[in-house]
Amino acid sequence: MMTNADLKKKREILFAKFPPGQVPEAADDLLTLDEVAVEPKHEKRVVGVSYELTQHTLEELEGHLEDKGFHLDNTLMSKLTRALIHYVEDTQLHNIGAPERRIKRSSQEAYVKAWEHHPHGDHDDTPPEWREYK
């Protein structure tokens, strides 16, 4: 049985060495999000975050930072640790029956991106001789 204490998460987001000085900017950016407690740890290149799993996931917070241009640590150990945490949090959300979270900010954003890459106009790739085939 999962309790509310199980849904309170305290994680650390580790940043790449370059560019330097990402921690204070990232901490300020995360402070703009609702229901996220932030603790910058400059000497470790880490931002500590606390959140309720039903409100945020580590994957969402990291994606938010990457969208803003921050660079997370990409060592193998960091990637494996993050992947494990993402899996565990997704599993916990699934087990409590939480509604699936949208990855994109809005439901139409995915379609807008796809439309930008789609050739526009009256274009049909079918050769003319195939169009008239009977």
The residue type found at 90 is D
The residue whose two tokens read 């945490």 is 85
The answer, yes or no, to whether residue 105 has pLDDT greater than 70, is no
Closest by CA position to 37, among listed 51, 24, 26, 25: 51
CB 101 within 8 A of CB 60: yes
Kindly report whether the global pTM for this prediction surpasses the value 0.75.
no
Structure confidence by residue, pLDDT tens digits, 33-72? 999 999 999 999 999 999 999 999 999 999 999 999 999 9
Give the model's pLDDT for residue 7.
93
The answer, yes or no, to whether residue 17 has pLDDT greater than 60, is yes
The answer, yes or no, to whether residue 108 has pLDDT greater than 70, is no
The residue type found at 108 is Q
**What is the spatial distance between Cα 13 and Cα 33, in angstroms, rounded to a whole number?**
15
Closest by CA position to 27, among listed 10, 39, 12: 39
